[in-house]
Amino acid sequence: MPHKVGGGYSRKYARATAYFFARYLTEHLKVPVGILVSAWGGTPAEVWTPAEIVEKDEILSKNKLKDYPWWPIKPGVLYNQMIHPLVPYQIAGCIWYQGESNHENAPSYARLVSKMVEAWRKDFEWDFPFYYVQIAPHTYGAKNNTPALLREQQELMLGQVKNTAMINISDLVENVKDIHPRNKRAIGERLACLAMDKVYGQFTGAYESPCLHDARVVKRNLEVTLEGNFNTLHSTTKEVTGLTVVDCTGKQVAVNARLKGKSLQIPLRGLKAPYQVYYCFDEATIGSLRTDADMPVLPFRTAKIEVK
């Protein structure tokens, strides 16, 4: 596709998230920002990864999605056509908005995308920033809670691949039947705020979502502590939405919590140790927890919590 100046006729053919990302950077950096859009909706990460990496890795080869003749799904097919030809260009970084098509083989997703990023960085000969979007709540009708496992894998990548960061967009969902939130401007600008801070050293808006840090029993409460660049938590509803506890009997209870600083205090009445706490750890729940910067909390599940 030839180069096009953003706006007017060309804008309606651009990927909306990428367009708003680039527009935000242009407005704040006061210089033109070019984007190379290489995208094919509804494709798994395998097609963007060199085929030999998938085929020679025992885990990835075993877990790859089965072939369909009517859709790009073979490992490496879009890497060959839509990534490798870009290698002569110098890029400042990459934004990645994908994952829904991999929920069926979620357990190997972090391994797959980590190797994909490694291959791309080898091609471009530098460890460019790789910023991505955690998949939104959506009614997949999936078995074995695979969308939640996919989100967990996306968070896991943060500790496996350097110079990466992730945004959460669960607060932007208006209808969980839509696989992508319709507010593409907010998604693009949240990614842009991330890039402005991490790449250009200019904080222009909130983008970071807190994650699970620790969970323990304190007296007769479960104390769940989050970590991240925030000071306090609040709920957008009277009681916290999306929070459940499972005890040793398998009893699962929706619970409320008292919010204190970076912690949630959950009463344990009627529950038996060990416990596990879940927050939005399913396919479509939109949680109500927000930071003082109004950013959503990442979904999580704790390990089993014993009483000491």
Burial (0-12, 13-18, 19+ Cβ within 10 Å), 280 = buried
Q: Which CATH class is domain 211-301?
A: mainly beta
Is residue 232 within 8 A of residue 262, CB to CB? The reply is yes
Residue with tokens 């060309």: 10
Tell me if domain 8-198 and domain 211-301 are identical in fold.
no
Domain chopping of the chain, boundaries: 8-198, 211-301
Q: Which residues contact 260 (CB under 8 A, 6 or more apart)?
A: none
Q: How many CB atoms lie within 10 A of CB 164?
A: 20
Q: What is the C-alpha to C-alpha distance for residues 277 and 244, in angstroms, rounded to an integer?
A: 6
H/E stretch holding 11 reads: helix 8-11
Phi, psi of 253 (to 5 degrees): -130, 130
Tokens standing for 271?
């529950």
**C-alpha dihedral (18, 22, 27, 31), degrees to nearest 10:** -170
Beta bridge partners of 244: 254, 278
pTM (two decimals): 0.94
> Quick one: residue 306, left, alpha or beta (phi over 0 = left, psi -120 to 50 = alpha)?
beta
Chain centre to alpha carbon of residue 66 = 24
Residue with tokens 């367009």: 19
How confident is the prediction along the chain (308 residues), in pLDDT tens digits per residue?
455 555 544 455 468 999 999 999 999 999 999 999 999 999 999 999 999 999 999 999 998 876 666 567 899 999 999 999 999 899 999 999 999 999 999 999 999 999 999 999 999 999 999 999 999 999 999 999 999 999 999 999 999 999 999 999 999 999 999 999 999 999 999 999 999 999 999 999 999 999 999 999 998 899 999 999 999 999 999 999 999 999 999 999 999 999 999 999 999 888 889 999 999 999 999 999 999 999 999 999 999 998 87
CATH number of 8-198: 3.40.50.1110
Q: How many CB atoms lie within 10 A of CB 160?
A: 13
Is residue 174 within 8 A of residue 181, CB to CB? The reply is yes
Is residue 226 within 8 A of residue 213, CB to CB? The reply is yes
Full strand arrangement of the beta sheet holding 164-167:
94-96, 130-133, 164-167
